[in-house]
Amino acid sequence: MTSLVELIAKKRDGYEHKEGEIRRLIGALTAGDLADYQMTAWLMASFLRGLSDAETNELTDAMLRSGDVLDLSSVPGVKVDKHSTGGVGDKVSLCLAPMVAACGVPVPMVSGRGLGHTGGTLDKLEAIPGFRVDLSTDAFVAAVRDIGVSMIGQTAQIAPADKKIYALRDVTATVECIPLIVASILSKKLAEGIDALVLDVKVGRGAFMKDADRARELAEALVRVGSRAGKQVVALLTDMSAPLGLTIGNALETREAIEVLHGKGPDDLVACTLALGAEMLVLGGKARDAAHGEELLREGVASGRAAAKMRALIQAHHGDPRVVDEPDRLPRAPVTLDVSAERAGWVTGVDPLELGLSAVALGAGRTRADQVVDHDVGLELLVRCGDKVKKGTPLLRIHARSRAAAKEIEPRVRAAFTLADTSFPSPPLILGRIDAASLSG
C-alpha cells in the first residue's frame, strides 16, 4: 500500500489524489497515525497545488464523517444556519442567530474561533461571563428544540478532523485556500443536521478573499458542494474593504451585537445582519421574499423578542443573561488610549487588515494554536469612511492591557487611516448573490 508520506509527496508534486486517498489521510489524522507536521505538509501542498472538485468533495465528506452527524429530527421546522468566511469586526452571528430564531426559524450554529487577522464567534461569546461553548451534542439539540437556537464550538463528535486541521491552518499560512475553506465550512455545517445554509462571503482587504473574482469562486464552490449534499444554499458577497461596525475585539464586539438586538448599532452592521437574516427566513419558509424577511426581523427587534431570545440563549449556555440589558457587565480593558488625526481631511480609507492584525497584537487573537485570547482588549473606531475630521480629531480608541501595549500599537493603527482633501464614495455593502439556480443558469 502507498505510504502516507507518499500521499503527501503526490500532492506536493501536483498530482490528483485517487478516490479514497484523501479519506485515508483524514482517517490517519483522527486515529493519530498522521502527525500534525505531516498534515501541515499536505495542507501546504494543497494550498500550492490546489484540489479538484472531486478531491474537495472527498475531503468535505471525510471530515464530515470523521465524527457524528447530528439528528435534529426532533426539532420542528426548517433548520437554517449562517456562516461567514471571516472579516474584521464581523460580529453578525451574535445578533443574527437570536433575531432569526425569534422569527420562528430554528438556528443550530457550530462556530469557530479566530482565524488569522479575523475574530471568532466563540471567542466573542466567551466574553460573556460564564458562557460555555462546549455543550454536549445532546444539550445542543435540546437547546435548538426548546428555545430555537444554540451556538457551540466543535465537540469531539462534530467533524473532529476539521477541528485539528482548522487549528493548523490558522498558524501555518494555509488559510486562504478555496478547497480547504469549502471543506472546513461545509464539514461542520453538514454535521449539524441542518436543512439550509446562508453564507456570507467577505470580499476585500479585511477578508481572506481580497479579490472579487476569487471571492465569487469561493461562493460558487460552497453553493455547488453544499447543493450536491442536498442542502438549500445561498451565498451573499459582502464588502470587507473596511471593518464591519465600530469595534474590533471580543467583548467590544459582543457589546455592539447586543446593541443591534435593542434596535441600535452601526448602520452597516444592521444592514448586513438584516440581509443575511432575511435570506434565512426565506429558506426557513417564514418569509415570502427578502423584503418581507427584513420586515419580520425589524419587528422581532422592536417587540423585544430578539433580545429575549438572546437572554434564553445565554441562559442555556450557563452565561449571565443580564448582559443583554446591562452590557457594562461585559469585561473592559484597564487602559484606553485615543489616537488622533495628524491632519485635517476626509477619511477615505480605514484598513481592516492592519486593524485586525493590530487587535491580534494586543491579544485579541492568536498567533499560536494554543494561545489564549484576551477578551477585554481591542479597538474602537470613532470615525468612519466618509467622515470629515479636523487635525486632532480622535480617530480610534485603543483598549489595552497596559499603557505600554497601547503606545506600542499606536503608530500602526494611526497608519491604518487614509485622509484626503476630497471624499470618495464607499462601495456597496452587498456585492452579489449566488444560489443553485444562478449556477445552473
Q: List the catalytic residues.
A: 83, 162, 169, 184, 188
Question: Which of 298, 239, 236 is closest to 95 using CA atoms?
Answer: 298
Question: Which of 150, 148, 84, 95 is closest to 120 using CA atoms?
Answer: 84
What is the rounded CA–CA span in Å between residue 80 and residue 61? Answer: 20
C-alpha grid cell, residue 392? 486632532
Question: Hey, is 321 helix, strand or coil?
Answer: helix
Q: Is the dihedral of CA 257, 248, 351, 411 positive or negative?
A: positive
C-alpha grid cell, residue 362? 494586543
What single-letter DSSP state applies at residue 142? H
Which residues are within 8 A (CB) of 325 and not within 5 positions of it... i.e. 6 or more apart?
A: 307
Which residues are within 8 A (CB) of 86 and not within 5 positions of it... i.e. 6 or more apart?
A: 115, 116, 118, 202, 207, 208
Task: Give the CA angle between residues 169, 181, 168 to the nearest 5°.
Answer: 10
Question: Hey, is 29 helix, strand or coil?
Answer: helix
What is the rounded CA–CA span in Å between residue 96 and residue 77? Answer: 18
CA atoms within 13 A on the CB side of 64: 22
Contact assessment for residue 113 and residue 46, using Cβ atoms and an 8 Å cutoff: no
- Amino acid at the residue 414: R
